[in-house]
Homo-oligomer: A and B are copies of this chain.
């Protein structure tokens, strides 16, 4: 136990869960919001922005990159990160789809 039983679910369910799990930490939310705020992609002053040690930020960036929410390109000694809009749109589409269904059949009993 302790490990998620991914076999029980569809690939889609597993995928969206992984994406949302990656966003399910305030540090990673803060990173995303910062990346959006500074417009042009930003490298390691995320460490200055968020009160966490550099290895911790690096770890969070890695997680976001692993699921495809952000991407980074090397720029000299620094690395330029930014949001991958493709994956982001997938997340948005998922929520929109569910919202449509919710509106469609709004026969709540609770």
- A interface residue numbers (CB < 8 A to B): 4-6, 8-9, 13-14, 16-18, 20-30, 32-33, 36, 39-41, 50-52, 71-73, 75, 80-85, 88-89, 91-92, 95-96, 98-99, 101-102, 105-110
Copies of this chain held together in the complex: 2
Q: Are the C-beta atoms of A102 and B73 separated by less than 8 Å?
A: no
Q: Are the C-beta atoms of B26 and A24 separated by less than 8 Å?
A: no
Q: Are the C-beta atoms of B98 and A36 separated by less than 8 Å?
A: yes
Q: Are the C-beta atoms of A9 and B29 separated by less than 8 Å?
A: yes
Q: Are the C-beta atoms of B110 and A52 separated by less than 8 Å?
A: no
Q: Are the C-beta atoms of B4 and A25 separated by less than 8 Å?
A: yes
Q: Are the C-beta atoms of A5 and B102 separated by less than 8 Å?
A: no
